[in-house]
Amino acid sequence: MDEIRSTHSKISGTAGVLAGALAGILSVALAGTALAHRLVQPAERPLLEATHLPPLLTTRGEKIALRYDVYCALSEAEADTPCSVEGTVFARAGDTGAFQEIAIRAEPGASDSRYVARLPESIAGASAGFSYYAVFRSEDAGISTTMPAGGSAAPQRSRPLGRSIDMVLGAHSFGGEREADARVAEAAWGSGTAEVGLEQGRNLTPIGGSAFDVEEDGSVVVLDEANKRLLRWQRGAESPDSVPLEINGTLADMSIDKDGTVFVLETTGAHGKPLLRTFTPQGTSKATIAIAGRPSQVRVGPDGPVVLQSASAQWMSAEREGQPVSVSGQLSAGETGRPFSDGREIVILRNGDEVRVALVGGTGVRRSWVVQSETPLAEVQLAEPHGTGVVLVTRVINDDRDEFVVLVLSRRGVVNRFSLDSSDWAETAPLSRFRLQGSSLYQLGSTPAGLFVDRFDLEVE
Amino acid sequence: MLHAWKFFAAFAIAFALAGAGTAGAYHTQFIAQNCNYYPPTPTSYMTRDGSITVALYARNEGYQWAGGCWNDNDVDDSPGDPTANGGTGGEGPDCSGFTFKVWRESEDQNSTAFHQWWRLRHIHGPYLAAHFKAALGAPNYPLSKSAAIKMDAFASDHHIGMIYVPNADGTDQIIEAKGEAYGTNVWTRTYRGSSTYNGVRRLGWSQP
């Protein structure tokens, strides 16, 4: 009898164990299925997007047409049958007054940007330029979009160049790069105390030392995002000091204020939303600010950090009087020019193989330059005031080579010009390869061995 | 009472083990649970606007090395996969797989036909970034970078991204699958200027 009881007990115990194990496995499976189901429900959402290259700077007599690309679909499956879109441009002469409504018309035969608004001469030819924004609506999709997103509060601004100082660069001769006056920072790739981290390894695009800045005392600060820190080379020092930062990186840009506050712009924050992180000089976190749109640069403006939004080509304040600005606040205060502490702004427009640069003050364009090149131009890496002129760094390219061309522009034209090796083995934030401090230009470069910062004295009185 | 204790002990152990196994294998589940292997839909034409629209539906999704399948919920459903590991089965394309699908290319490298694969079709295609850079395959041909417009691409030995729109400062907004930490999205880049990148164009666009 005891044997039977014992056997029964063993069977019951085994069954209990099996039932428990089965229940455990089933619970995990059901939870996993539910989670997967929640994760993968694709939303067939309608889509309405517009892009536009604004005519920020215009020349006398130039034909002005505002051209847009518009992408509208009810779902991915209908990508080839775009929904119908109606658009209106609201434009006015100068900065003030009522906007005039101008219909945007589709030009089916246009090879590019087929939504076009043609401005009346009273607006397009206004001596103060014009401001405008566009609204696109799709009744099919039930959505609309405004461009720039700030609408009437922060319209696009187009300015006439006026009497520009024009110059033509001949065909660029590659290989004549200038030697640096000094190498002010240097580090091998790695995670050691005096090394800079390399992201993604050597089988994907190498990313390292994504940005840098130069402080007033000549100290060079590199954002070592892979190792989540700043590396600061005091003037004349061979090895850097390290300041840990709580950052995620992702090709972050960086600028440092005069008081040492560090601004780090992460272009891929949580769920793809960009963030601006601010830190004390010692690396203590001060604020994390959500940033609108698709930012590409952070710089120090007259009242805190300003961020360039690629989607609108506008500079937006991320902080005012030390307080974060909301996303809607950023969008409703976008400006066409990059603001500087002396009240001036710089506006640039690369148009084919031509770069237009304007120094803008309170009454409009104070001085402007048009640089044409026989060799194709890529991006403008830097355009900053230098005395009454401007230092401009742009990239010349052919299909095999590229170099940077540095132009010191004054009212007399080009007063200094030289070429620099691009030295861009590792990728950085897109527009963080150069800094101007006083009369010296600094370049962030890299090779398979490591990273460096070189100084070039501009030798202009 | 003892049996109940055994039940709960077994439940806890099995739950922990199954959970641990699932967690360890979690990132392999996106493709298995969501993606398909349907044949592509042939199309008689392809426009740059239509392909940009296809690409825009991939924004904010993930990145998977050697991958090619994503949904449209604006979330990377398999974040933090080990990089350069095609076996993790996570969400998203890699750079060349994304270009292959957005450019509606064929697995047959001699074909220039247009194949709409749709986002949930798991396919990478036969080209790596370096293949696009070298303009390998019948549908791909080299292009001067200064002539590149929307939906043309810039390709290096390691990466490829397609032009969404040029910026006023001469940079480009590029739509690309950038990496595990980035996912798939539109960012400003200077690929046009970098000599490590070549221009490449898909053959056969209809206007616009």
Taking contacts as CB-CB distances below 8 angstroms, the residues of chain B near A424 are: 194, 196
Range of the domain at A288: 166-457
B109 touches chain A (CB under 8 A): no
A22 belongs to a structural domain: no
**Which DSSP string do the residues of A249-311 spell out, in sequence order?**
-SS-EEEE-TT--EEEEESS-GGG--EEEEE-TT--EEEEEE--S-EEEEEEETTEEEEEETT
Calculate how close chain A gets to B73, using CA atoms only, in Å: 6
Q: Are residues A293 and A372 in the same domain?
A: yes
Q: Are residues A200 and A230 in the same domain?
A: yes
A369 belongs to a structural domain: yes
From first to last of the 461 residues of chain A, give the pLDDT tens digit.
445 455 555 555 565 555 655 665 555 444 444 444 444 445 578 999 999 999 999 998 888 999 999 999 999 999 988 899 999 999 999 999 999 999 999 987 766 678 999 999 999 999 999 999 999 999 988 999 999 999 999 999 999 999 999 999 999 999 999 999 999 999 999 999 999 999 876 567 899 999 999 999 999 999 999 999 999 999 989 999 999 999 998 899 999 999 999 999 999 876 678 999 999 999 999 999 999 989 999 999 999 999 999 999 999 999 998 899 999 999 999 999 999 999 999 999 998 999 999 999 988 999 999 999 999 999 999 999 999 999 999 999 998 999 999 999 999 999 999 999 999 999 999 999 999 999 999 999 999 999 999 999 997 55
| Interface with chain B: mutation pick from A9, A11, A28, highest number of B CBs within 10 Å | A28
A175 belongs to a structural domain: yes
Q: Are residues A149 and A291 in the same domain?
A: no
Which of A160, A184, A206 delimits the end of a domain? A160
Q: Are residues A138 and A110 in the same domain?
A: yes
Q: B178, B61 in Cβ contact below 8 A?
A: no
Closest CB to B3 among A16, A69, A251: A16
The SS3 assignment for A139 reads coil
- ipTM computed for the complex: 0.90
Q: Are residues A96 and A58 in the same domain?
A: yes
Yes or no, beta carbons of A76 and B118 under 8 Å apart = yes
In whole angstroms, give the CA distance from residue B161 to residue B183: 13
A9 belongs to a structural domain: no
Q: Are residues A141 and A170 in the same domain?
A: no
| Interface with chain A: mutation pick from B143, B167, B186, highest number of A CBs within 10 Å | B167
Note which residues in 122-181 of chain B have CB less than 8 A from chain A: 144-146, 149-150, 156, 158-159, 164-171, 173, 178-179, 181
Q: Are residues A153 and A216 in the same domain?
A: no
Q: Are residues A300 and A416 in the same domain?
A: yes
Q: Are residues A372 and A387 in the same domain?
A: yes
Q: A424, A430 in Cβ contact below 8 A?
A: no
Assigned token pair, A63: 């034909």
A27 belongs to a structural domain: no
Q: What is the pTM of this model?
A: 0.90
Note which residues in 208-237 of chain A have CB less than 8 A from chain B: none
Assigned token pair, A294: 């698709």
Which of A112, A142, A160 delimits the end of a domain? A160
Query: Which CATH number fits the domain that encloses residue A146?
Result: 2.60.40
Q: B156, B197 in Cβ contact below 8 A?
A: yes
Yes or no, beta carbons of B189 and A430 under 8 Å apart = yes
Note which residues in 104-143 of chain A have CB less than 8 A from chain B: 108-112, 114
Taking contacts as CB-CB distances below 8 angstroms, the residues of chain A near B34 are: 36, 40
Taking contacts as CB-CB distances below 8 angstroms, the residues of chain B near A79 are: 50-51, 53-54, 57
Q: Are residues A124 and A205 in the same domain?
A: no
In whole angstroms, give the CA distance from residue B56 to residue A221: 36
Calculate how close chain A gets to B38, using CA atoms only, in Å: 15
Query: Which CATH number fits the domain that encloses residue A417?
Result: 2.120.10
A156 belongs to a structural domain: yes
Query: What single-letter amino acid sits at A12?
Result: S
Closest CB to B15 among A17, A27, A248: A27
Q: Are residues A224 and A316 in the same domain?
A: yes
Q: Are residues A222 and A304 in the same domain?
A: yes
Nearby residues of B171 by Cβ (< 8 Å), 6 or more positions away: A296, A310, A379, A430, A431, B188, B189, B190, B192
A8 belongs to a structural domain: no
Q: A282, A265 in Cβ contact below 8 A?
A: no
In whole angstroms, give the CA distance from residue A112 to residue B205: 12
Taking contacts as CB-CB distances below 8 angstroms, the residues of chain A near B188 are: 294, 296, 310, 430-431
* Alpha-carbon dihedral angle through residues B167, B168, B171, B172, given to the nearest 10 degrees: 10
A26 belongs to a structural domain: no
> Looking at the 3D structure of chain A, how many domains does it have?
2
